[in-house]
Each structure stands twice: as structure tokens, then as C-alpha cells.
Structure 1
Amino acid sequence: MEMRPVLVAICLLLVTPITGSFWTVGSQVVMDPMLICKKTRRLKGKLADICRKEPALLKEIAKGVQVGTRECQYQFRNRRWNCTTVRRSLRKILLRDTRETGFVNAITAAGVTYAVTKACTMGDLVECSCEKTSSKGNRLSKITRNAERNKNVPTEGEWEWGGCGDNVNFGFKKSRDFMDAPYRKRSDIKTLVKLHNNDAGRLAVKKFMRTECKCHGLSGSCTVRTCWRKMPNFREVGNRLKESFDGAAKVIPTNDGHSFITEGPTIKPPSKVDLVYSEDSPDFCKPNRKTGSLGTQGRQCNSTSPGVEGCELLCCGRGYDTKVVKEKVNCQCRFQWCCEVTCNTCVVKNSVNTCR
């Protein structure tokens, strides 16, 4: 079996860990990414360097794919397309250039950036360490000015950079080296869109770093503060990219074929942090092997909601079935001195709606 497509698929397909040192990629069970790299001979450039020289980094990259996978499934849990990984559905999705593809690429690139950066901070990689910014030099002055402008750094009292900040620049670079390397020499529209969305995902981590500080002084005073830079919570990253997904712009290639523009002249050109796509999405209402749609039959819906999770939209107007489900729960709990909580068991009835 050729290993290169499987390796690249680690960043494109959602990866689910199973027992031992094996992974499920699409419908295939393969060995962990590090072992795949050891058996691969046709890789070139930066991707080959990571495979052959940085096995610990490769493990963190695989963790990052998991982080992106879980966040994708959370963000789309109530939509017709729910970022499913079953029956090669995602592989079919990624063969096209829809806004769903754009989100998967962005959240995966963000997850890899996040995991590698976190590993640096935790000391899990010999290739990097946390960010220890010097108290002198232009770099500090630039960070200070930007942070003060954004009101992220205290301006009262004395403070200095210190502690162990997140080395996001290293995570950003390694995410780009691994995920973008196979596509750098191409200039077709799908590649341009993919690389743009990859960077948008990474920037959703890098551009929203926050400043944390620790006070020093007698009797709890805060006369001196030590500050460092930390990544945002990954849920914030997911929320931000989901907003970009909702406002994604459709683009077309320019005449020279080396860039893209928005399809309509009245549409605002996308910034570096915006998501883009070049193909319209299917409606995902019915199963379609060609597009990867699994349909929404059997999905649970909310009969009282007018939103995307509501039965009208999620079931595509086909209607829904309702059944009453009984569930045992703890109730009438009491605290008894000392120190025990006792509860009764109650049976509650819940209505469950599923799309026809």
C-alpha cells in the first residue's frame, strides 16, 4: 500500500484513535503517523524532514488533528452536515471545495498549531521551548506597543515580560511546513483556497493571543507584574472560525491563475482571517455517495426551535417522528451530616424527535 496519500490524509481526514499504536483514517486502519513516516520513501522537503527527523513533533501533529476533529464536530453538531467521519463521508467532502471543506482545513491547521505550541510550553519537544521574551530589544518594544494599544497589558505600576509564554510562532511554522508543503508549487484555485483557509485557521490562534500577568509585592500588593503571552482557549478558536464559515466568501481565479477574487464585484474582498470557497455546498438533506452527504434521516431535532437544529430545517421539510423515552435520574437529593448525599431515583419522560 502506498503510504504517502495516507500520511497527507492525516491532516485532511479526521483521525480517531483506537487501541494500541493504530489509527483509523477514513475506512482504513493504519499504524500511527510516526511509523507511517518511517516506511515512506517518496517524501521530499520540509514534510520529509519532519517525518525523518522529528518523530515527537509528528505525534503532536496527530494530537492537533484530533483537537480540530473534536471542535469541528462540536461546532456542527446541530447542522445538516455534522462533520461526520463515518463511511468515508468526510473524504468525499474534502474532494470538493465547499465552505465545509474550508472549515475542516482551517480548524485542522488551527488544531495542529495549537497542539504543537502547547507541547513547546509543556517541554514535550526538544525542538522548541516556551517563549521567554527578553526585557530588552525592539521585539519587546513592538509587542509592548501592540499590547498596550489593545489594552491587553497593564499600564499602571511596573511590569516586565517573563514567565513561560506560548511559542505560537513555532507552532504556526510547523503547522505550515507539514500541511502546506505538498501544495506550495501548485496554483490552481482549489490549492489557493486551501492554503488561504489553512492560514486563516492558524491566524485564529496567533492573532488572538492574550496577555496574562502575575503580581509581585509585599502584602499582596501589585507593585511589579510579570507578564507573558498565552493562546486563547480552543473553543474560542472554533467559535471564531465558525463565524468565518457563516460569512465565507465565494471566490473565482484571476486571469493570471495565481490568486483569486470574490465572485461578485459588490462582495467585500476576504481578509487573511476570512474563510473562502469556490464550489457551492449540497443541501445535505438526502444521502449522496458522490458528494459525501449522509442525509438527515434519523437525526434528532428540536421541534420548538426555528434555527438550524429545528425539525423544520434539519429534516428538510420531510417531517419528524416523536417518541417518549423514559430515563432514570437522581432526584430529591439531601445532604446528611457528615458527609453524605443521598438521592431518590425518579423516572422522567422526555420527548425525542427524529427526522423522517
Structure 2
Amino acid sequence: MATRREPRAQRALRLASGTALCLTVSYGLGLELSFIAPIFALFLLAKLNRPLSFKAGLGLTLVVMLTTGSGLLLIPLLRYAPVSGVLLVGLCLFLAFRHGLSGGNSLVTTFLVVGLTMISAAGTAEFALALKVISALVQGLLLAVLMLPVSHWLFPEPAGAKAPPAAPALPAQESGWVALRAALVVMPAYLLALIDPASYMAIILKSVGLGQQSCMATVRDAARELIGSTLLGGLLAILFWWALGLFVHLWMFFLWMLLFGLLVARKLYGFSPTRLSPGFWLNSLVTMIILLGLSVQDSANGKDVYSTFVVRMALFVAISLYAWLMVYLLDQYRQRRAIRQPGC
């Protein structure tokens, strides 16, 4: 039977169920930044079609601890020489993105960028806050890694199914420009987080996703990919919140996440073909989980969920517009430079 199964169907079911399970366990255990774990699970399930071995899972967790811990080294420089510290963070972001575009592991690139930004920004306010964020990231990844074999056990990969082809590495000159573009996309959200880490920490996660999305977007499709995915993610978060309000329960949280995950996975894996890329649908789901998780957090803290959602959504749209502007301006600059220097 396994040989006759459709690989895309298994992958869609695995992505939706694994993300929903991880979200339920994370909120059930009351983990710090509970929405981090399902986001990590979503990334792992979207990129890996085989379960990680124990050794590989442990190795990935150690890599995340090291990459996120790298942000701790930047805290003294950001406190006592802020201009130099910010410039160094920008350089590190550029190198991290270029490493991923040149054929490096995209997951490691993601965790390195998150570590450089979230940890160093939190540490400028309070060192204990940086350690708390590291703990939340590591706990979230461990839970996501544990959910990976469970998801593959529920919906195994069909025998003989081919792995999706790896993204080709960009030429050195091209990867440099695209990495610069991605670093510039992340920097404004990072500067906001330096001002008020508690309020703008989640904005960094969104900007990291936009930075990676901008690496794959062309100028023609950038507005639709970057801004459209943000708006769709916000709309999905509103619908999810309304549906969850009909009957508030942890298992209803799981069922609604499963349903929304299946709806997006259907588009992501091409069961209902559109002109939109898989990255569009993946980032829409990530945006939904971030906004939903923050709304749950606001509700638990007694804040006005709707007003904070409007402000947060406005910020998300603003950084998406900025990301599109960076894609457009850098492309225009490259075209003018190519006209002036035909040999370059």
C-alpha cells in the first residue's frame, strides 16, 4: 500500500498534523514563547522528508545552542559601543545569508540569524532575558525534533519516493547581492527590538522570514510574495481566532490548527495549483502562527487583544513593504551599475 501512496498527500498530512501536535504539546506544557515550537516543526517538516536520527537530532540541537549562543558574544559590544555592535551584527547577517545561498544548510542559517538578532537584542535589555530566550528556542527545537518521528510514523514517506531537489547554489556575485538584500530587510526590525526587546521580539521572527523569502523572490513577484503572504497570514489569524472563540479548549486549538494547516498544505504541495510559490504559503502559515501565538499571550496577560493585533499587523505590513522596497531599489541599482560597467 505504501508504494501506491501519493508522496505529496503524505507530506501535506504530515506537515499539518505535526505542526498541530507540536502546537498542542507546547501550549499544554506552558513553554516560554509557546508559538516557537510549532514554527520550528513547520520548518523541519517542510524541508525534511525523512525523520532525523537520534544523533542528527542531537547534533542539530547542539548547533542551535551554539548559533543562538553566538548572540551572547555581541551583548557587551552593543552595550558599550552600540554603533560598532550594530554594524557587526549587519556584517554577520550578511555572511550568514550568503552561506545559506552558497549551498549551506538553510536550517542552520535560519537559527544563526535568529540567534544573532533575538539573543543580542534581548541581552541589551537584560542578560537574564537573553538566557530566557535561548532556553525557549532550545526547548522549542527539542519539541519540534521529537514531533518529527511521530509525524513520520503517522504518515510515512512512500517507498521509493524521490526527495525534492535541493535549491541550486547561487554564483558568488549573485549570492552577495541577495545576501545584502536579506540583511537589509532584517536590520530595521532588529533596531526596533534594540529599543524595546519585549515588544518587538516577535517582529524579528517575521523579518527573518521576510529576509529568507526575499532571497527567492524576483522583483516582479516581490510585492505579491512579501506583502501578500503577510496579509494572508493576518487574515488566517483573524479567522482562526474567531473560530477558536466558539469553543476555547486545547484540543479545539489542535483541531483548528490541523484544519488550517491542511488548507495551506494543499496549496503548498500543489494539489490546487496557483501562480504563488511554496514559500508564499509557508510564510503565510508562519505569520498566522506568530500573530495567533501573540494574541493568546496578550489574552492571558489581560491585554486588549484586538488593539494590539491591529498595531502588530500594521508593523508586519510596514516591514513587508520595506522588504519589497529593498528588493526593488537594489535591483534598480544593479541594473544601473551593469549599464555603466558592462564587463561586471
TM over 0.5: no
Larger Rg: 1
Higher relative contact order (CA 8 A, sep 6+): 2
Give me the TM-score of the superposition, normalised by structure 1. Answer: 0.29
Q: Which has the higher helix share?
A: 2
